[in-house]
Amino acid sequence: MPTGRFVRPAAVLAAALVMAGTAAAPASAASGPNLEVSVVAQEGRWLSGDTVGLDVTVRNLGDAVAFGAFGTAYTESGTPLRIDRNQWGDLSDGGSGAPIAQGETRTVHLTGQLGTFDGDSVVHVEVHAGQDIDYSDNVRLVTLPMARGTERVAGVLYGDANGDGKPSAGEALAGAEAHFIGVGTTTDMVAVTDATGHFSFDNLPLSRYAYVSFQKVPGGWVDQPVGEMRLDGRGAYTALEVRAVRPLSDVLHETLALDKTTYAAGDTGKVTVTLSNSGTQPLTGLFLSCDAGGFGSELPVTDDQWGAFGSQRRAGTLAPGQRVVLTATAKVPDRAAYTGSTGLDCTADDGHSGGAPYAVVTAKVPGKVADSRGQVWLDKNGNGALDLDEGLAFRNLVLVEDGTICAYARTDANGFATFKNVPVGTYQLRVPGPWKPAPFEGDLGVFAPPYGGGEWHLRFVAG
Ligand SMILES: [Ca+2]
Ligand SMILES: [Ca+2]
Ligand SMILES: [Ca+2]
């Protein structure tokens, strides 16, 4: 919006016209400073939130110094463009202005950020100086065209079996889920690839950042990232060719082993990692990413023990047919006594292929026992949430480990039960009868205080 400071030039313009009229002299005879402004706006189909550049060039065409020159730029109409006036430097209208000598040319690079969409943005750019003899060239209006409409994102997903980087006959990947998400869309949209591997999303809102990714890709193929898309109505993404490659785990194989099946806290555990290359090409840049996080009971193996295969060095190599055996040791952490287990899990990666093999090994750390209380429930009304009457009442529960029942409990009227004096560890909780755990539920870690003791709620479904 115009500022108080900004109102001045219009008054000056009127005064200049009056002076020209009263002087009754040809314009060519006028003497004094004469700033001329030109503006080059960055080209684009703009979206809210974009940053747009404006190059403002000021020339003094007159025959005298323009003193106290200052510039201003603001949105006259449409989508607002926010411009920090400090970008004008010594021409900022927050200061006392700057002199521009006769014949001098200065260029100021401004950037602004577009706000909420309100049609094309019309930006008023002006440089003022006292006694400018022709104010008509001191003001420029620049229109920034805003993108409009909707977008379509479509393409084909293919497994590049012949490695030519293009979709070839027989390479279509059908039945994969394409997921679209963009800034400005609230939910993940899903399309399933058809028999020819094609997918499409229509009538998408414009978006500065949008992404397509894939799930449930058949045959173990690993889709390569599509990259960030800018949906500004140009239709630039209607014929995507999304390449998928074979997973690294096709050729790189990993196994983990521990030297014992049972440890005590403070023991030294030794882990052996075996890596092999069953492919016909050498594998390079290999490294292990091992997680000593989890509940803090895993073996805290230091990365340097993996040598060239450490995640810091990323320099492991395997020739075709080659196999390497790596070993490392670490002390079993105290916390493992409270969770009942220790171990290690490692991904063997080359950092770029996707589909890296992952392996896990665990051992017991027995001794402690704990009580474990919680609730099993059925989502009777299907709302995905636990409601008051959904506890599975008066049922026997069992904890199972490796197919052996290790503990029993019985639920009360609200589906609550307590397992008493259970050896710490991780179990499968089961309800004998026509029920099965909901997906991703059904595992129960029984941990000793202070690491355990929280109440659990496990959802079961009819099955
Ligand atoms: Ca002028
Ligand atoms: Ca191909
Ligand atoms: Ca419910």
| DSSP-assigned states of every residue in 90-156 | GGBTTTT-EEE-TT-EEEEEEEEEE-S--SSEEEEEEEE-TT-S-GGGSEEEEEEPBP-SEEEEEEE
Distance 61 CA to ligand 1 centre (A): 8
**Closest ligand by atom to 170 CA:** 2
Q: Tell me which residues have their CB within 5 A of the ion that is ligand 2.
A: 160, 162, 164, 168
Structure token digits, residue 327: 């070993």
d(CA 131, CA 16): 8
pLDDT value for 28? 54
Closest ligand to residue 459's CA? 3
User: Is 182 exposed, middle or buried (CB count within 10 Å of its CB: 0-12, 13-18, 19+)?
Assistant: buried
398 C-alpha to ligand 3 centroid (Å): 24
| Structure token pair of residue 232 | 């500004």
CA dist., res. 224 & res. 203, Å (int)? 25
Query: In 160-205, where does DSSP find H-type helix?
Result: none
Ligand 3 centre distance from Cα of residue 390 (Å) = 7
Å from CA of 43 to ligand 1 middle:
26
Using DSSP, state whether 273 is helix, strand or coil.
strand
What CATH number belongs to 4-144?
2.60.40.1510
The CA distance from 97 to 68, in Å, is 4
Q: So what's the pLDDT on residue 5?
A: 38
Is there a contact between 444 and 428 (Cβ–Cβ < 8 Å)?
yes
Q: Phi, psi (5° rounding) for residue 191? A: -130, 145
Protein fold of 369-462: Immunoglobulin-like (2.60.40)
What spacing in Å lies between the alpha carbon of 94 and ligand 1's midpoint?
21
Q: Determine the CATH number of domain 150-246.
A: 2.60.40.10
* Contact partners, residue 101, CB within 8 Å, separation at least 6: 60, 65
Report which bound ligand comes closest to the CA of 243.
2
**Residue spans in the chain of domains classed CATH 2.60.40.10:** 150-246, 249-364, 369-462
Phi/psi for 136 (5° steps) reads -65, -20
* Amino acid, single-letter form, for residue 209: Y
Tens digit of pLDDT at every position of the chain (463 positions): 333 333 344 434 333 333 443 444 445 557 999 999 999 999 999 999 999 999 999 999 999 999 999 999 999 999 999 999 999 999 998 889 999 999 999 999 999 999 999 999 999 999 999 899 999 999 999 999 999 999 999 999 999 999 999 999 999 999 999 999 998 777 789 999 999 999 999 999 999 999 999 999 999 999 999 999 999 999 999 999 999 999 999 999 999 999 999 999 999 999 999 999 999 999 999 999 997 666 789 999 999 999 999 999 999 999 999 999 999 999 999 999 999 999 999 999 999 888 999 999 999 999 999 999 999 999 888 888 999 899 999 999 999 999 999 999 999 999 999 999 999 999 999 999 898 998 888 899 999 999 877 899 999 988 7
Q: What residues does CATH 2.60.40.1510 cover in the chain?
A: 4-144
Helices (H) and strands (E) in the chain, counts: 2, 31
Q: List the shell of residues around ion ligand 3, using CB closer than 5 Å.
A: 379, 381, 383, 385, 387
Q: Identify which ligand lies nearest to the alpha carbon of 384.
A: 3
Separation of alpha carbons 118 and 77, rounded Å:
8
Which numbered ligand comes closest to the C-alpha of 380?
A: 3
How far is the C-alpha of 175 from the C-alpha of 153, rounded, in Å?
Answer: 18
Is the domain defined by 249-364 classed in CATH 2.60.40.10? yes
Reduced to 3 DSSP states, what percent helix, strand and coil does the chain have, rounded to the nearest 5?
A: 10, 45, 40
Residue whose structure tokens are 């039945």? 175
What spacing in Å lies between the alpha carbon of 378 and ligand 3's midpoint?
A: 7
Residue with tokens 């805003």: 146
Determine the pLDDT at residue 441: 86
